[in-house]
């Protein structure tokens, strides 16, 4: 089905300015004119400045030599008391931007990526009926898709819709502060939802357990399940009946179902579907504005385990 809808970017000029201020002047002059359209800025030691706009990547004739790169590394940490976190990420308070790095064997930064986070309202509106139905039934939603198709942006707008109904009964588990921003005061876009800041990714599983046990949530919503120690703890707490909506670590539906480390979440044991999945519904993000909804996720899982193509309980939503 094709649904007409509009997306509104409510990112403030101050939020765009906050990321510009993290760049030395010679880089700022290049990125500033097109920052509103920019998705990602790639800064690698001894390599040209690179900027990604959607599927288009442009290399500029400005090489980040050790001196310039060192200045970039310093500027990115400005105002951050403890510098880079254990997960190699930092954010900018009051914004949804994310800055990440990779290091050499000596622990020095050699790759820095700046992802521009936007306060987009309306991305999840074509899926509102699916989301509201999941809330009414008290079930979770899995969100699956490759990088750079807007899964986190979609998840953030799903949180907004869920918070309309659940208010403070919705708790957001913010692994890298991409959903609610890098500040103790969450970004306004998540509405009335409460938020747990994970901090060290290795603590994610334990923080899920504590939120379920101590905060009496009606639902949890989180990003990036499946490549830390979170799965056993989430499965252990599943009988408490708190539905979870989250992105799963996998490029597509087949990879997710075939990933053995995700099997406990999917109700799979020894390659067979023996238990209900943690998620009753799944949304595949095929591309920006193009979704495939699996209204019976367990049936999809069973089909894929049998190497068959799922045909039941599916419908696609495209944005006009």
pLDDT tens digits, one per residue of 201-218: 778 888 999 999 999 999
Please list the pLDDT of the chain residue by residue as tens digits (320 residues).
666 678 899 999 999 999 999 999 999 999 999 999 999 999 999 999 999 997 799 999 999 999 999 999 999 988 776 788 877 888 888 899 989 999 999 999 999 999 999 999 999 999 999 999 999 999 999 999 988 888 989 999 999 999 999 999 999 999 878 899 887 888 999 989 999 988 777 788 889 999 999 999 999 999 888 766 788 888 888 878 899 999 987 889 999 999 999 999 999 999 999 999 999 999 999 988 899 999 999 999 999 999 999 999 999 998 76
The pLDDT of residue 33 is 94
The pLDDT of residue 226 is 75
Contacts of 263 (CB under 8 A, 6+ apart): 269
Q: Which residues of 65-101 are buried (b: 16+ CB within 10 A; e: fewer)?
A: eeebbebbbebbbeeeeeebbeebbbbbebbbbbbbb
Decide: helix, strand or coil at residue 301.
helix
pLDDT tens digits, one per residue of 128-141: 999 999 999 999 99
How deeply is 184 buried, as exposed, middle or buried, from its count of CB atoms within 10 A (0-12, 13-18, 19+)? exposed
The pLDDT of residue 220 is 96
Dist. CA 81–CA 89, nearest whole Å: 13
* List of E strands, the chain: 2-3, 8-9, 40-44, 48-53, 56-63, 89-91, 98-103, 109-115, 120-121, 141-144, 170-174, 194-197, 219-225, 244-248, 268-269, 272-273, 281-287, 290-294, 314-319
CB count in 10 Å sphere of residue 158: 23
Domains of the chain, with CATH numbers? Answer: 8-115 (3.30.450.90), 120-318 (3.40.50.300)
The pLDDT of residue 309 is 94
The pLDDT of residue 2 is 65
The pLDDT of residue 3 is 67
């Amino acid at each position: 089905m094709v649904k007409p809808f509009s997306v509104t970017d409510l990112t403030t000029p101050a939020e765009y300015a906050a990321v510009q201020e993290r760049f030395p002047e010679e880089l700022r002059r290049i990125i500033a004119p097109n920052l509103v359209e920019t998705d990602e800025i790639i800064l690698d030691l001894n390599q040209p400045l690179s900027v990604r706009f959607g599927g288009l990547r442009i290399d500029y004739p400005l090489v980040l030599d050790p001196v310039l790169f060192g200045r970039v590394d310093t500027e990115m940490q400005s105002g951050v008391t403890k510098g880079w976190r254990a997960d190699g990420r930092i954010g900018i308070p009051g914004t949804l931007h994310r800055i990440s790095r990779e290091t050499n064997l000596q622990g020095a930064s050699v790759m820095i990526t700046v992802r521009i986070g936007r306060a987009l309202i309306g991305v999840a509106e074509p899926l509102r009926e699916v989301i509201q139905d999941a809330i009414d039934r008290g079930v979770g939603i899995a969100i699956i898709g490759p990088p750079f198709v807007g899964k986190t942006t979609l998840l953030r707008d799903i949180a907004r819709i869920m918070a309309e109904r659940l208010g403070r009964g919705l708790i957001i588990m913010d692994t890298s502060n991409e959903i609610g921003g890098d500040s103790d005061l969450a970004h306004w876009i998540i509405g009335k939802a409460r938020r747990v800041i994970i901090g060290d990714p290795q603590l994610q599983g334990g923080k899920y357990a504590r939120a379920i046990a101590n905060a009496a949530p009606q639902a949890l919503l989180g990003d990036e399940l499946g490549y830390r120690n979170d799965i056993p703890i989430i499965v252990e707490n599943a009988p408490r009946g708190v539905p979870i909506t989250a992105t799963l670590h996998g490029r597509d539906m087949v990879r997710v179902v075939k990933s053995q480390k995700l099997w406990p979440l999917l109700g799979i044991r020894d390659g067979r579907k023996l238990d209900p999945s943690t998620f009753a519904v799944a949304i595949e993000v095929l591309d920006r504005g193009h979704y495939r909804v699996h209204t019976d996720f367990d049936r999809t899982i069973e089909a894929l385990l049998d190497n068959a193509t799922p045909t039941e309980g599916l419908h696609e939503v495209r944005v006009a």
